[in-house]
Structure 1
Amino acid sequence: MLLAFILLHSFYQTLAAKGGAHWSYDAHSQETWPEAYPDCGLKAQSPIDIQMGSVQYDPSLPPIEPEGYRNPGSDPFALTNNGHTVQMSLAEGMNLHGLPNIYTAVQLHFHWGSKGSSGGSEHLIDGQAFPGELHVVHFNSEKYANVSEAMHHPDGLAVLGIFLEVGKMENPAYNNIFNQVDKIQYAGEEDTVSPFNIRNLLPEHLGHYFRYNGSLTTPPCYQSVLWTVFHQPVQISAAQIEKLQKSVYSSKAGSSTPQSLVDTFRHPQLLNGRVVFSSFPAGPSGYSAGEIVAIVFGVLMGCAALFLTGWIVAKRTRARSMQDQKGVVFTSSSRRAV
C-alpha cells in the first residue's frame, strides 16, 4: 500500500510540475493549456466524441479481465481532494488483462458537471454527455517500473472510462466513496476508505467497449493512454452525483470565497485521423453501418415478398371466385332449359 501511495504521489507531482497547480477547467483556461503544456496541443488528445456511425468493429478485441479487483486486500485506500477532482488510490495486485500488456492499477478519479446540467462526462456518445464519468488509471507494469516512468511512453498507460448515469436507486458500491466526500471538502484534504469490491464500480458487461489511443485529459496531456470506454453506463442516484456537485471545493479550507468544484471535464478533442474501434457492432442502435444497410435491404425485400405473395393469393382467390360464379350460372341455366 505504501508503494502505491508513493507512486500516486509521484504521479501527481509530475502533473503539478511547471505551474500545473494553476490550471483549471473553465473554457478560457482550457484554451491556454498548450501554452504551459505543449502536449495539450498535439493531435491525439482526449477525451473525444465517439461517433457510433464511424466506429470500426474489431471482433478480435477480447473482454476486459480485472484481476484483484474483488479482493483488493485489507489496507485502506487514500481518498484525496487534489483541487481538480476526487481521487482514490488503489491497492497493489490490481491488474488488467485483455490488453496488449498487463497493466497495474494506480488510482481512480471522477469527472462531473454541476447541479441542473445534463453534462459532466468527458467522453461523449454521438454528442451526448452523461452526468459523470469514472476513470481507473493503470500503468504498463510489464515494461515500466512505475506510473511516473510509464506516462512518458506511448504504451505506458491504460485508462478505463465508465459513464455514470442517474437512476432511481442508490449504488451501494459508490457509497463506499461518496459517503466519505464530506471529509475531503477542500483542496489538499485527505481521508481513507475501507477496502471494498472495486469490481462493483464497473459495468456488469466488460466485453462491450470502445478502444482508441489518446492522452491524459488533464495537463500535461501526455499522449500515452490506451483508452477503454465501456458502452454500458453504471447507474447511481441523483443524491449520489450531488455529493460531488455540492460538497467539494477547489479552494483550500479557510478561503474567504470557497469555489465549488464543478464541471470537472475537458472539452472533446478532434480525432485527427484516429480510428475508434469497438469490441461489438457499434453503428446506430448497436449495429454497424453495413449491418444497417443489410437490415434495411432485408426488410424491403421481405415487404416486397409479402406483397407479391399477397397479390398472387388474391389473384388466385379472385380467379377461383369467378370460376365458381360461372359454374353457378351454368347450373342455373341448365335447370331452366330442362
Structure 2
Amino acid sequence: MDSPGLFVLLCLVIFGQAAASSAEEITWSYTGLIGQSEWSEYFPDCGGTYQSPVDVITTQTRFDPSLTRVTPLGYSQHGNQPFTLYNNGHTAIIVMPEWMGLEGLPWFFTAVQLHLHWGNGGPNQRGSEHTMNGISADAELHVVHYNSELYPNMSAAMTQKDGLAVLGILIVTGEETNPAFNNILNYLSRIKHFGQKVFIPAFDIQSLLPEDLGRYYRYNGSLTTPPCYQSVIWTVFHERVQISKAQLLKLETILYSSKAEDPEKMLLQDNYRATQALNQRVIYTSFSAESGKELSSGEVTAIVIGVMCGCVGLAVIVRFIVKTIRFFKVLHRETVVVNRWFT
C-alpha cells in the first residue's frame, strides 16, 4: 500500500477508536444533561421501535398457554461469599453469582446483576418504570440475566435480540417492613456516592421476588438505560411486592449520583425511564383474564356481606318452612281429633 493510502487508513483507525472511546465516556442522565429526550442522539438504539419500559394495558394483552412458570435456580444458594453492592451513579447494583440462573424461557439464562428504580417521594409519586393501565408503582426491581446457551458472556449477549432476560418486579408500599429488602437497604449508607462499593452478607435473592411466579406479562423490549439495546425478553410479574414507607424513604433519600469529592451533591432520585410506545408489539400473559383478576377490597367486602346476607336469608327461609310444616302438622292433628269427636 502506498504512503497516502496508509495514512488515510491510519487516520480512519484512530478516528474510529476515538469515536468508540468518546461514546463509552458519554455521561447520560435521566433529567439533566443528555437526559432521556437526548438519549437517541448519542445512543441510536434508544430511538428504536422495541424500547422499554412500556405501559401494560391489561385488556389488550394476549393469553399464551405455552408460557410456563418462571423458575429461578440457585437464588437461595448464596453460599458464604459476600455480595458486591455498588453505586454506579444511576442506581444501586448487586452483582449476582454465576451459578444463579433462570429456567422457564426458550433458553437457559445466567444471572448477572439486580438493581432498583425509584422516584422522589413527591406528591405525584412515581418510581417504577413499567406501569399497569397507566398506573405506576412506587419502585421497581430488575433482575438481569444473559443467554448462556447461545453466548459466552454478557457483553456478547447484550447486543443480540435473544441475548438477555430481565425479571421486572413492581414494588408498592404498606405498613409492614419487608425483611428481604433490608438485606440491601441497610447498606445503602455505605455506597452513598457514585463509584463507592461495599461487600454485604449474601442472602436469598428469591426472597425479593413475589410468591406467585406463574402469572406474568411477557414481551420483547430493550434495556431501559443507554445504550438501550433491543435485546431483552421481559417478564413483568403480575403480583406486586410490598415494602414499608420507611424502607421506600431510605431508597429515595440516601444515595447520590455525584462523587464524594464533587462540590455539588446531587441526590439519586427519579431514576426511571418514561414508558415507550408499544409499536405493534404484543404483550402476552401467562394467565387468562379470569384467573388473573384481582378483587379490590371493596369488591371483597361486598362479596362477604352478600354471602352473609344470603346465609341469613336462607336461614330465615328454612326457619319459615320448618314453622309452616309444623303448623300444618298440628292443624292436621287437630282436624283429625275434631273429626273423631263428631263421628
Give the TM-score, by structure 1 length.
0.78
Mapped to 1, the partners of 2:136 and 2:264 lie a distance apart of 30
> How well do the aligned residues superpose, as a CA RMSD in angstroms?
1.8
1:281 positional shift: 1.8
Mapped to 1, the partners of 2:291 and 2:79 lie a distance apart of 41
1:44 positional shift: 0.4
Look up the match of 2:29. 24
The correspondence of residues 1-338 of structure 1 with structure 2, limited to 5 A, is: 18-19=23-24, 21-26=26-31, 29-116=35-122, 117-282=124-289, 286=293
1:129 positional shift: 0.3
State, as a whole percentage, how many aligned pairs show the same letter. 50
Mapped to 2, the partners of 1:285 and 1:67 lie a distance apart of 25
Look up the match of 1:306. none
SS in 1 for 2:136: coil
Contact 1:52-1:125 at 8 Å conserved across structures: yes
1:192 positional shift: 1.2
Contact 1:64-1:98 at 8 Å conserved across structures: yes
Select between 33-42 and 251-260 the one with higher mean Cα deviation.
251-260
Mapped to 1, the partners of 2:254 and 2:35 lie a distance apart of 23
Mapped to 2, the partners of 1:281 and 1:21 lie a distance apart of 44
Letter in 1 for 2:145: H
SS in 2 for 1:104: strand
Mapped to 1, the partners of 2:187 and 2:144 lie a distance apart of 21
Extract structure 1 runs of 4+ deviating beyond 3 A.
282-285
SS in 2 for 1:22: coil
1:75 positional shift: 1.1
1:193 positional shift: 1.5
SS in 1 for 2:52: coil
CA offsets 1:119-153 (integer angstroms, 9 cap, x no match): 10000000000010000000001111110100011
Mapped to 2, the partners of 1:237 and 1:285 lie a distance apart of 25
Contact 1:89-1:108 at 8 Å conserved across structures: yes
SS in 1 for 2:35: helix
CA offsets 1:287-331 (integer angstroms, 9 cap, x no match): 9xxxxxxxxxxxxxxxxxxxxxxxxxxxxxxxxxxxxxxxxxxxx
Mapped to 1, the partners of 2:102 and 2:177 lie a distance apart of 27
SS in 1 for 2:268: coil
Look up the match of 2:301. none
1:283 positional shift: 7.8
CA 95–255 in structure 1, closer or farther in 2 if over 3 Å, else same: same
Mapped to 1, the partners of 2:106 and 2:200 lie a distance apart of 31
SS in 2 for 1:18: helix
1:256 positional shift: 1.9
CA 16–203 in structure 1, closer or farther in 2 if over 3 Å, else same: farther
Contact 1:20-1:219 at 8 Å conserved across structures: no
Mapped to 2, the partners of 1:74 and 1:145 lie a distance apart of 26
Unmatched tracts of structure 2, length 5 or more: 1-19, 295-343
Contact 1:46-1:269 at 8 Å conserved across structures: yes
Aligned residues: 273
